[in-house]
Amino acid sequence: MHQNHKQSTQTVAERSPSPRRPDHRQRLVYAAALAALGVVFGDIGTSPLYALKTVFLLDNGVVRAQEDDVFGVISLIFWSVTIIVSIKYIGILMRADNDGEGGVMALAALAQRLYASKAGKAGTLLVIGIVGVALFYGDSIITPAISVLSAVEGLHVTVPAVSHLVIPIAAVILIALFAVQRYGTGRVGVLFGPVMVLWFVVIGAAGLAMVVQYPAVLLGLSPTYAIAFLVSKPLVAFVALGAVVLVITGAEALYADMGHFGRSPISRAWFFLVFPALTLNYLGQAALVLHDPAARANPFFLLIPEWGRLPVVILATAATVIASQAVISGAYSLSRQAVQLGLLPPLTVRQTSQHEGGQVYLPAVNLLLFIGVMAVMLSFGSSDRLSTAYGISVTGALVVDTVLLLLVARPLWNWAPWKIVLAAVAFGGLELTFLAGNLSKIVNGGWVPLLIAAVVILVMTTWRRGRQLVQADRLKKEGSMADFIEEIRTKNLARVPGIAIFPHPNKATTPLALRANVKHNHVLHEHVIIVGVSTAQVPHVPAEDAFDYDPLGYADDGIEFLHITFGFSDEPDIPRALRAAVREGVLPLDSANFKQASYFISRGAIRITRKDTMVPWRRSLFVALAHNAANPAARFGLPALRTVTMGSDVEI
pLDDT in tens, 135-144: 888 878 888 8
Cα(487)–Cα(581) distance, rounded to whole angstroms?
A: 29
pLDDT for res 507: 85
Cα(592)–Cα(199) distance, rounded to whole angstroms?
A: 53
pLDDT in tens, 488-542: 888 878 888 889 999 988 888 888 888 888 888 888 888 899 999 887 767 678 8
Tell me, rounded to whole angstroms, the distance of Cα 42 from its chain centroid: 15
Name the band, by pLDDT with cuts 50, 70 and 90, for residue 651. low
Residues 487 and 431 both lie in one domain: no
Determine, yes or no, domain membership for 225: yes
Residue environment code for 565-600, b if the CB has 16+ CB neighbours within 10 A, otherwise e: bbbbbbbbbbbbbbbbbbebebbebeeebbeebbbb
Residues 265 and 350 both lie in one domain: yes
pLDDT in tens, 600-630: 988 766 777 777 778 888 888 888 888 888 7
Mean pLDDT over each residue of the chain, to the nearest integer: 83
Residues 278 and 415 both lie in one domain: yes
Residues 427 and 484 both lie in one domain: no
Cα(639)–Cα(632) distance, rounded to whole angstroms?
A: 11
326 phi, psi to nearest 5 deg = -60, -50
> Residue 306 pLDDT more than 70?
yes
Could you tell me the residue range of the domain that residue 580 belongs to? 472-651
Extended beta strands in 404-510, E state: 494-503
Determine, yes or no, domain membership for 451: no
Contact 137, 453 (CB under 8 A): yes
Give the list of residues 6+ apart from residue 553 with CB closer than 8 angstroms, or none: 482, 485
Determine, yes or no, domain membership for 4: no
Q: What letter would DSSP give residue 589?
A: S
Residues 141 and 202 both lie in one domain: yes
Residues 479 and 406 both lie in one domain: no
Residues 258 and 111 both lie in one domain: yes
Across the range 39-51, mean pLDDT stands at: 84
pLDDT in tens, 404-429: 999 989 888 999 999 999 999 999 99
Residues 53 and 166 both lie in one domain: yes
- Our count of domains for the chain comes to 2
Cα(153)–Cα(166) distance, rounded to whole angstroms?
A: 6
Name the band, by pLDDT with cuts 50, 70 and 90, for residue 168. very high
510-513 long-range contacts (CB < 8 A, ≥24 apart) are 510/478, 510/479, 510/480, 510/481, 510/484, 511/478, 511/600, 511/602, 512/474, 512/477, 512/478, 512/602, 512/604, 512/646, 512/647, 512/648, 513/600, 513/601, 513/602, 513/603, 513/644, 513/645, 513/646, 513/647
Last residue of a domain, one of 441, 458, 483: 441
pLDDT in tens, 60-101: 778 888 899 999 999 999 999 999 999 999 999 888 876 667
Angle at 29 between CA 257 and CA 39, to 5 degrees: 30
Query: Which domain CATH number covers 145?
Result: 1.20.1740.10
Residues 498 and 359 both lie in one domain: no
**Other CB atoms closer than 10 Å to residue 178's CB: what's the count?**
18
Residues 250 and 156 both lie in one domain: yes
> Residue 26 pLDDT more than 70?
no
Determine, yes or no, domain membership for 466: no
Distances (CA, A) of 356 to 259, 423, 498, 571: 8, 32, 35, 12
